[in-house]
C-alpha cells in the first residue's frame, strides 16, 4: 500500500511539473527537445500505439475537457485526506495550535472559490456586439498588434492584445493563455481570479509543507531521538545524524514523508510560476505577449509590411503605466463593468 501511495504521489508530481513547464515556458528549446524525443520514440513504439497516444494528447491539450479539473481535485483530495487522517491527529496530540492546524483548510476553501470562478467565468470573449468596445480599450503598437487585422476564424476585427484560442474556438480580449487545469482561457475578465487561485494554491501547498515539517521536527525533539546512538555494520556506536533521522521517519511515517516531498516540490513549482505571473501583472504583460516577445519580433513581423531596407521594429511595452495602475487593470477591468451594465 505504501509503495502504491508513493507511486501515485510522484507520478502526479512528474505530471504536474511537465505540464506546468510546457504551458508556462513554451520555449523553442523545449519544443525542439519534444520533437527530438518524439523522433526517437517513433523508432521504438509501433505506429498504431503512436496514433493512439497522439489522439490522447490532442484530446488532453487541444480540446476542452474536464480531465485536468478532475485530476486537480483528486490530488487535492489525496493530500488533504492524508493531512486530516494522520498529521492533524498527531499534531493535536502534540498540542499544536488549532488555528495553525486549520489554516490549510481555510486556504483550501478560498482556493476552491477562485478555482471555480476561473473555470466558469467569461475570460472576455469577443463578439459582434462588443467588438467596437474592445477595439477602443488598448492602443495598437503596430509591431505586435496592428490595426485593421481580422481573425481568419471568427471574421472579427482583432483588438490590440487579443488572440484567437484554438482550443475554445473564440477570440479573447487581452488573451493570456489557455489553462488546461481550469479548462478555460485566461483573459481580461478572469485574470484576477486565476492570479488569486494560483496565489492561494501556492500558499496552501507551502502551509501544508510547513505544518508537516514542524510536526516531524517536533516529533524528533519530543522523543529525544537526535540524542540516541545506533550500532553500524562494523559494530561501532554512532551518533544519529540527519540521514539516519530521515530514514527512520521514512520507515515510521512513510505516507507523511511521501506527502511532504510532494507538497515541497509542488510549492517550488507553483512558487516559480506565481512569481512569473506576478511579474507579468506588475509589468502589464500577458503570457502570449511575453512568449512572442521582443527577440522574436525585432527582426520579423509578419503583420507589418516594410521595405527590405527598412529598419526592423522592436516591440516595446506601451501598456505599462506603473505598478499600481497595472495591478488595478488586472483586478478592475473597465470593460467587464461596462458589459454588465449593458446587459
- Where exactly are the structural domains of the chain? 64-298+320-336
CA-CA distance, 233 to 65, in Å (whole number)? 55
- The rounded mean pLDDT for the chain is 81
CA-CA distance, 143 to 283, in Å (whole number)? 18
- Reported as a pLDDT band with limits 50, 70 and 90, residue 18 is very low
What residues contact residue 86 under an 8 Å CB cut-off, 6+ apart? 253, 255, 256
Q: Quick check: 304 pLDDT over 50? A: no
Using an 8 Å Cβ cutoff, are 160 and 141 in contact? yes
Using an 8 Å Cβ cutoff, are 161 and 174 in contact? yes
- Reported as a pLDDT band with limits 50, 70 and 90, residue 286 is very high
For the purposes of burial, counting CB atoms within 10 Å of the CB of 104, is it exposed (0-12), middle (13-18) or buried (19 or more)? Answer: buried
What residues contact residue 146 under an 8 Å CB cut-off, 6+ apart? 140, 303, 304
230 forms beta bridges with 238
Looking at residues 143-156, what average pLDDT do you find? 90
% of the chain residues with pLDDT over 90: 50
Burial 132-152 (b: 16+ CB within 10 A, else e): ebbbebbebbebbbbeeeeee
CA-CA distance, 73 to 38, in Å (whole number)? 30
> Residue 175, Cβ neighbours under 10 Å: how many?
24
Q: What is the pTM of this model?
A: 0.81
Using an 8 Å Cβ cutoff, are 137 and 334 in contact? yes
User: How would DSSP label each residue in 98-138?
Assistant: HHHHHHHHHHHHHHHHHHHHHHHS---B--TTTHHHHHTTS
Please give the pLDDT value at position 37: 59
Angle, helices 191-222 vs 323-331, to 10°: value is 100
Q: Quick check: 157 pLDDT over 80? A: yes
- Half-sphere exposure (Cβ direction) of 10: Cα atoms closer than 13 Å: 10
Looking at residues 59-65, what average pLDDT do you find? 88
Using an 8 Å Cβ cutoff, are 145 and 157 in contact? no
Looking at residues 218-224, what average pLDDT do you find? 80
Q: Quick check: 333 pLDDT over 50? A: yes
For residue range 108-134, what is the model confidence (pLDDT) as tens digits?
999 999 999 999 999 999 999 999 999
Closest by Cα among 298, 280, 299 to 288: 280
Closest by Cα among 184, 187, 133 to 156: 133
Instruction: Compare 252 and 313 and report the one with higher pLDDT.
Output: 252
Q: Quick one: which H or E segment has residue 239?
A: strand 237-239
Dihedral (Cα; 87, 89, 93, 96), 10-degree rounding: 60
CA-CA distance, 123 to 120, in Å (whole number)? 9
- Reported as a pLDDT band with limits 50, 70 and 90, residue 1 is very low
For residue range 239-272, what is the model confidence (pLDDT) as tens digits?
677 777 878 888 888 899 989 999 999 999 999 9
Instruction: Compare 199 and 19 and report the one with higher pLDDT.
Output: 199
For residue range 165-195, what is the model confidence (pLDDT) as tens digits?
999 999 999 999 999 999 999 999 999 999 9
- Residues labelled as active-site residues: 179
Closest by Cα among 235, 181, 205, 192 to 328: 192
Amino acid at each position: 500500500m505504501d509503495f502504491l501511495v508513493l507511486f501515485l504521489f510522484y507520478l502526479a508530481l512528474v505530471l504536474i511539473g511537465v505540464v506546468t513547464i510546457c504551458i508556462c515556458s513554451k520555449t523553442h528549446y523545449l519544443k525542439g527537445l519534444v520533437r527530438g524525443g518524439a523522433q526517437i520514440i517513433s523508432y521504438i513504439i509501433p505506429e498504431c500505439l503512436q496514433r493512439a497516444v497522439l489522439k490522447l494528447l490532442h484530446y488532453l491539450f487541444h480540446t476542452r475537457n474536464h480531465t485536468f479539473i478532475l485530476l486537480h481535485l483528486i490530488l487535492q483530495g489525496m493530500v488533504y485526506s492524508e493531512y486530516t487522517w494522520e498529521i492533524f491527529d498527531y499534531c493535536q496530540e502534540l498540542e499544536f495550535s488549532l488555528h495553525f492546524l486549520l489554516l490549510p483548510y481555510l486556504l483550501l476553501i478560498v482556493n476552491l472559490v477562485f478555482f471555480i470562478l476561473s473555470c466558469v467565468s467569461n475570460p472576455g470573449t469577443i463578439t459582434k456586439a462588443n467588438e467596437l468596445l474592445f477595439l477602443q480599450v488598448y492602443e495598437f503598437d503596430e509591431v505586435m498588434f496592428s490595426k485593421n487585422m481580422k481573425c481568419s476564424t471568427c471574421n472579427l476585427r482583432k483588438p490590440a492584445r487579443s488572440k484567437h484560442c484554438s482550443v475554445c474556438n473564440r477570440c479573447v480580449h487581452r488573451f493570456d493563455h489557455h489553462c488546461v487545469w481550469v479548462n478555460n482561457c485566461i483573459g481580461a475578465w478572469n485574470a484576477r481570479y486565476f492570479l488569486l487561485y494560483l496565489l492561494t494554491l501556492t500558499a496552501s501547498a507551502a502551509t501544508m509543507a510547513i505544518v508537516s515539517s514542524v510536526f516531524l521536527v517536533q516529533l524528533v525533539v519530543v522523543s529525544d531521538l537526535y540524542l540516541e546512538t545506533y550500532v553500524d555494520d562494523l559494530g561501532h556506536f554512532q551518533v544519529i545524524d540527519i540521514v539516519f533521522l530521515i530514514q527512520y521517519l521514512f520507515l515510521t511515517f512513510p505516507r507523511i514523508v511521501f506527502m511532504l516531498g510532494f507538497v515541497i516540490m509542488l510549492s517550488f513549482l507553483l512558487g516559480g510560476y506565481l512569481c512569473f505571473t506576478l511579474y507579468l501583472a506588475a509589468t502589464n504583460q500577458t503570457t502570449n505577449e511575453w512568449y512572442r516577445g521582443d527577440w522574436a519580433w525585432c527582426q520579423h513581423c509578419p503583420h507589418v509590411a516594410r521595405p527590405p531596407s527598412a529598419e526592423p521594429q522592436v516591440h516595446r511595452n506601451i501598456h505599462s503605466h506603473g505598478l499600481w495602475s497595472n495591478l488595478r487593470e488586472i483586478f478592475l477591468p473597465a470593460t467587464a463593468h461596462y458589459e454588465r451594465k449593458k446587459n
